């Protein structure tokens, strides 16, 4: 899942981000995916470390502390929340609009 996130960023792949974030293909989610790509995409990231800490509080949750290097070797660090929903893990990348009660996982 973390590898797919980095691959989607490197490829500037909106659909890939929607998939790893388990978000529906809607204007609000595409806008957020495009913003992620603008700020973090196309940097040639290579994962150097990605330890995951899982918790259980009601739903399964967790965090991944992603450490990567860009194509010039500069370090990149990011912490991303994880959620287990509908028997699948996904990265919490998107803010759902108010009133959209649909599950985030397909």
20-68 pLDDT per residue, tens: 999 999 999 999 999 999 999 999 999 999 998 888 766 688 999 999 9
Q: Please report the pLDDT score of residue 101 as a whole number.
A: 53
56-74 pLDDT per residue, tens: 766 688 999 999 999 999 9
Q: Please report the pLDDT score of residue 104 as a whole number.
A: 47
Distances in Å between the Cα of 42 and the Cα atoms of 63, 94, 98 are 23, 19, 31
Q: Please report the pLDDT score of residue 22 as a whole number.
A: 93
Q: Please report the pLDDT score of residue 88 as a whole number.
A: 84
Short-list 93, 48, 50, CA closest to 75: 48
């Amino acid at each position: 899942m973390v590898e797919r996130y980095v691959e989607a960023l490197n490829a500037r792949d909106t659909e890939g981000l929607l998939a790893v974030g388990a978000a529906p293909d809607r204007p609000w989610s595409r806008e957020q995916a495009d913003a992620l790509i603008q700020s973090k995409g196309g940097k040639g990231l290579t994962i150097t470390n990605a330890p995951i800490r899982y918790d259980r509080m009601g739903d399964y949750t967790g965090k991944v502390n992603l450490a990567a290097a860009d194509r010039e070797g500069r370090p990149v660090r990011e912490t991303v929340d994880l959620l287990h929903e509908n028997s699948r893990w996904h990265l919490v990348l998107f803010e759902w609009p108010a009133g959209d009660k649909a599950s985030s996982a397909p």
